[in-house]
């Protein structure tokens, strides 16, 4: 497997794993509090909706010329990746609270419990659980589909991207089945930090190619670009941690403030 294929698989796997964790957390919360039958029916309905959307939009995306596609997708990934990286740097440096999947799970539990009884709609016994699970699958599934189609199309290897996404979803679902509860043990904050680095690197790489630039060594340049972005992110964390540890030194005294 070439280095470009390894990077493609890793980036797709990690990005899809994050989305799968979020969707699975909602589904598990709905299943535990409201019942698994309606929740799983919502999952099935969400998958069906996703299949229709991907089938309808997939060919349209594939028909776009490669250079404009790389430029647009590269720009989107760069914005998306920088957003993730910014939040990850702030969390790692202590300027933003860590993403707590356990807290998210508890919030969904409380929301589900406070919803009260739901009327039966045909074969669906609990409309609330059905809607909650379906919405989670569709929203996060669209993120996964976007990642797979764009990553795969730009790297000319859609099957590998699809395999990576399927593997990520399978791993997350297996963990959820094993722990039968919140996915708090999954290091999502670390995953998001790595994904932010990868998305920023791929966005820069594809955006520049779409604009007509030629990277030295072609895809092999990713082996240098990714560590460079990672080094920048780690340095940013160090700088922000240093600033956070010196608030007292920079803050004026009461007498200075009055003066």
The domain ranges of the chain are 3-245
Tokens of 40: 């799983």
Q: What is the pLDDT tens value at each position of the chain, 259 positions in all?
A: 677 788 889 888 988 888 888 788 778 777 776 777 888 888 999 999 888 887 777 656 556 566 776 777 678 778 877 887 888 888 888 777 655 556 666 666 666 556 555 444 456 667 777 887 888 888 888 888 888 877 887 778 888 999 999 999 999 888 877 775 555 555 667 777 887 887 788 888 878 888 888 888 776 787 888 899 999 999 998 888 877 665 544 444 434 433 3
For the whole prediction, is pTM greater than 0.75? no
Q: At what angle do helices 158-179 and 127-154 cross, to 10 degrees?
A: 150
Distance CA 129, CA 153 (A): 35
């Amino acid at each position: 497997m070439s280095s470009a294929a390894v990077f493609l698989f890793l980036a797709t796997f990690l990005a899809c794993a994050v989305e799968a964790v979020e969707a699975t957390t909602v589904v598990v919360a709905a299943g535990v509090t409201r019942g698994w039958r309606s929740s799983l029916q919502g999952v099935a309905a969400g998958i069906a909706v996703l299949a229709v959307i991907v089938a309808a939009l997939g060919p349209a995306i594939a028909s776009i010329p490669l250079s404009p596609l790389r430029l647009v997708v590269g720009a989107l990934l760069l914005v998306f990746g920088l957003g993730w990286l910014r939040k990850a740097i702030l969390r790692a440096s202590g300027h933003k609270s860590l993403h707590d999947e356990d807290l998210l799970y508890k919030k969904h539990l409380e929301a589900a419990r406070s919803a009260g009884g739901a009327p039966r709609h045909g074969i669906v016994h609990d409309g609330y659980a059905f809607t909650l699970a379906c919405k989670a699958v569709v929203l996060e599934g669209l993120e996964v589909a976007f990642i797979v189609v764009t990553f795969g199309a730009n790297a000319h290897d859609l099957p590998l991207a699809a395999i990576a996404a399927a593997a990520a979803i399978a791993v997350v679902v297996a963990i959820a089945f094993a722990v039968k509860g919140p996915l708090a043990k999954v290091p999502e904050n670390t995953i998001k930090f790595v994904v932010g680095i990868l998305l920023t690197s791929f966005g820069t790489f594809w955006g520049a190619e779409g604009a007509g630039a030629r990277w030295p060594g072609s895809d092999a340049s990713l082996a240098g670009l990714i560590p460079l972005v990672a080094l920048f992110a780690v340095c940013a964390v160090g700088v922000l941690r240093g600033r956070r540890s010196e608030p007292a030194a920079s803050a004026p005294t009461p007498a200075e403030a009055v003066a």
